[in-house]
């Protein structure tokens, strides 16, 4: 089992601590790292929000999420130990009021200690909160700040947020989090590519036919309907998650795994992405919105019913993208994401080119291309699909089978999840798993081009029934290229 090394003692301030993100992800992640011995005793977790409550009340709420109703005595004892690190302070995010005085008092101590500010807040208040942190003298030499996506809603708003945050914190202290970059399989992609001579020589237009990236959700908009109806699938998922995955697939080898070395190569990919124009969008982009259907055997409403009226917001988008550089010229990258699809799954599928000459007789079976299937969720793993001979007498028969690495089967230990890993990376100051300012802005430039193309007329919204894999136009987009979406879980 890999050794889990403790981090330095730190103070972490979580703004928006009563929100969904802190309740479901951040507090449980910190508790699990405490249980595994990665968080040392002198560390402090200061939670803050507008709601009036005591630390005891906050911890009682948090315990319901972390422990549920079935916690054993050992886990309850560990929770009691962890609780000694946690303090709740009521404070308004605008920086006014007595709460900030109490927050400052709670942070009194060693000024050389690592100090992390986590903004589990709407992006619109990132700038004002940073200004308040500065105004109250809370920035120390080892202070750093964590920003949740999305950073803005277009290029100009992203730049304004980055300017406001950058006025207080140096770029080396800003951690823009995308939890997909914390997934074990995503990080393993770098090792697969750059630590195995087998793959890198064919990882280009000479060896790869096309790439598919799918992030599918079976859930609807739900509690996020208010935000989601303003954002849509393109802003919510493509601009960050899918483009980041594409960058890791397409980037050139960095000179090291240093944060800026990795991020510089990702930036080159984003700058090489071909801009989408209105005419191109009509054949290279599919927008969809789910209607009523069936998920898991139960009927579910359509998106319009969930948000309470007719809306033009897309809940599905599929894009054929092109990277105009030497390595990837002519290789399409197909990306799709959507809500209320047939199953929850995230995967990257690298389809290699067919063999140049088929020597197998026609009745032996269909010769399929090699595929590398990288599964991000729900069951992390890597499969290499290959053609083999079906064992037994009776002549040559072909079978398409996987060389399969299942993380659950290969590694019995429970490893940290994405947020657990990313929080510890923040404390360590490891920027490689986080987005740099110019990355975010380059991704928005390209995304804004797609939005502009829609506004210029390529704005058809196709319906698809909940429980399916999006509108049929998505399959037709690949069909025109004599390709089809591949389900790596089959």
- The percent of residues in the chain predicted with pLDDT above 70, rounded, is 91
Q: Quick one: average pLDDT of 390-403?
A: 69
Three-state helix/strand/coil letters over the chain: CCCCCCCCCEEEEEECCCCHHHHHHHHHHHHHHHHCCCCCCCCEEEEEECCCCCHHHHHHHHHHHHHCCCCCHHHHHHHHHHHCCEEEEECCCCCCCCHHHHHHHHCCCCCCCEEEEEECCCHHHHHHHHHHHHHCCCCCCCEEEEEECCCCCCHHHHHHHHHHHHCCCCHHHEEEECHHHHCHHHHHHHHHHHCCCCCHHHCCCCCEEEEEEEEECCCCCHHHHHHHHHHHHHHHHHHHHHHHHHHHHHCCCCCCCCHHHHHHHHHHHHHHECCCCHHHHHHHEEEEEEECEEECCEEECCHHHHHCCCCCCCCEEEEEEEECCCCCCCCEEEEEEECCECCCEEEEEEEECCCCCCCCCHHHCCCCCCEEEEEEECCCEEEEEEEEECCCCCCCCEEEEEEEEEHHHHCCCCCCCHHHHHHHHHHHCCHHHCECHHHHHHHHHHHHHHHHHHHCCCCCEEEEECCECCCHHHHHHHHCCCCCCCCCCC
The answer, yes or no, to whether residue 336 has pLDDT greater than 80, is yes
The per-residue pLDDT for 359 is 66
To the query of whether residue 179 is one of the catalytic residues in this protein, the response is: no
Tens digits of per-residue pLDDT, 242-289?
999 999 999 999 998 888 899 999 999 999 999 998 888 889 999 999
Task: Evaluate the omega torsion of the peptide bond into residue 150 and state whether it is cis, within 30 degrees of 0.
Answer: yes
The per-residue pLDDT for 68 is 65
pTM greater than the 0.85 cutoff = yes
The answer, yes or no, to whether residue 118 has pLDDT greater than 70, is yes
The per-residue pLDDT for 279 is 85
The answer, yes or no, to whether residue 126 has pLDDT greater than 70, is yes
Strands of 381-389's sheet, edge to edge?
Answer: 398-406, 381-389, 371-377, 345-352, 208-216, 332-338, 316-322, 285-291, 461-465
The answer, yes or no, to whether residue 490 has pLDDT greater than 80, is no
Q: How confident is the model at residue 230 (pLDDT cuts 50, 70, 90)?
A: confident
Strands of 10-15's sheet, edge to edge?
Answer: 86-90, 44-49, 10-15, 114-119, 143-148, 174-177
Tens digits of per-residue pLDDT, 186-212?
888 888 888 888 888 999 999 999 999
Q: Quick one: average pLDDT of 132-140?
A: 94
The per-residue pLDDT for 256 is 87
Catalytic residue among 241, 255, 322, 462: 241
Q: Quick one: average pLDDT of 424-432?
A: 93
The answer, yes or no, to whether residue 70 has pLDDT greater than 60, is no
User: How wide is the angle at C-alpha 266 spanned by C-alphas 480 and 285, nearest 5°?
Assistant: 25
Q: How far is the first Cα of the chain from the last one, in angstroms, to the nearest whole number?
A: 30
Tens digits of per-residue pLDDT, 139-178?
999 999 999 988 999 999 999 999 999 999 999 999 999 8
Pair 232, 315: CB distance under 8 Å: yes
The per-residue pLDDT for 26 is 95
Q: How confident is the model at residue 408 (pLDDT cuts 50, 70, 90)?
A: low
The per-residue pLDDT for 2 is 56
Tens digits of per-residue pLDDT, 350-394?
999 988 876 666 666 677 888 999 998 888 888 888 867 777 666
Tell me which of 81-85, 402-406, 445-449 is least confident: 402-406
């Amino acid at each position: 089992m890999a050794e889990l090394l403790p981090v330095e003692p730190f103070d972490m301030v979580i703004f928006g601590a009563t929100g969904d993100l802190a309740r479901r992800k951040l507090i449980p992640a910190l508790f699990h790292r405490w249980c595994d011995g990665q968080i040392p005793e002198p560390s402090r977790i200061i939670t803050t929000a507008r709601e009036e409550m005591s630390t005891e009340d906050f911890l009682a709420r948090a315990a319901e999420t972390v422990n549920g109703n079935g916690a054993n005595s050992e886990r309850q004892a560990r929770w009691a130990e962890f609780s000694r690190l946690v303090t709740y302070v009521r404070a308004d995010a605008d920086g006014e009021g007595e709460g900030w005085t109490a927050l400052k008092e709670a942070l009194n101590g060693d000024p050389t200690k690592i100090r992390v500010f986590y903004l589990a807040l709407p992006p619109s208040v990132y700038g004002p909160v940073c200004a308040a942190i500065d105004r109250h003298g809370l920035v120390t030499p080892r202070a750093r700040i964590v920003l949740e996506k999305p950073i803005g809603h277009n290029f100009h708003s992203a730049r304004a947020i980055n300017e406001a945050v950058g006025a207080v914190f140096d770029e080396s202290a800003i951690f823009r989090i995308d939890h997909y970059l914390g997934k074990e399989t995503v990080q393993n992609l770098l090792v697969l590519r750059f630590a195995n001579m087998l793959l890198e020589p064919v990882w280009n237009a000479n060896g790869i036919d096309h790439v598919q990236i799918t992030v599918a959700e079976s859930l609807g908009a739900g509690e996020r309907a208010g935000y989601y109806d303003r954002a849509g699938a393109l802003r919510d998922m493509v601009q960050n998650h899918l483009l980041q995955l594409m960058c890791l697939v397409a980037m050139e080898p960095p000179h090291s795994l240093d944060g800026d070395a990795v991020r510089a190569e990702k930036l080159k990919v984003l700058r090489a992405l071909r801009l989408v124009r209105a005419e191109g969008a009509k054949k290279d982009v599919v927008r969809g919105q789910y209607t009523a259907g069936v998920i898991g055997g139960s009927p579910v409403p359509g998106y319009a019913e969930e948000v309470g009226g007719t809306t033009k917001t897309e809940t599905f988008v599929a894009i054929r993208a092109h990277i105009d550089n030497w390595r990837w010229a002519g290789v399409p990258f197909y990306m799709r994401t959507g809500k209320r699809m047939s199953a929850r799954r995230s995967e990257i599928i690298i389809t290699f080119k067919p063999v140049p000459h088929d020597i197998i007789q026609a009745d032996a079976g269909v010769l399929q291309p090699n595929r590398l299937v990288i599964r991000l969720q729900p069951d992390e793993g890597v499969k290499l699909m290959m053609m083999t001979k079906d064992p037994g007498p009776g002549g040559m028969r072909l079978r398409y089978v996987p060389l399969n690495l299942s993380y659950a089967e290969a590694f019995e230990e429970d490893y940290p999840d994405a947020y657990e890993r990313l929080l510890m990376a923040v404390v360590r100051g490891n920027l490689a798993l986080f987005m740099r300012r110019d990355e975010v802005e380059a991704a928005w430039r390209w995304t804004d081009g797609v939005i502009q193309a829609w506004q210029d007329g390529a704005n058809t919204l196709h319906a698809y029934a909940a429980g399916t894999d999006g509108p049929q136009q998505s399959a037709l987009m690949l069909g025109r290229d004599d390709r089809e979406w591949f389900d790596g879980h089959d």
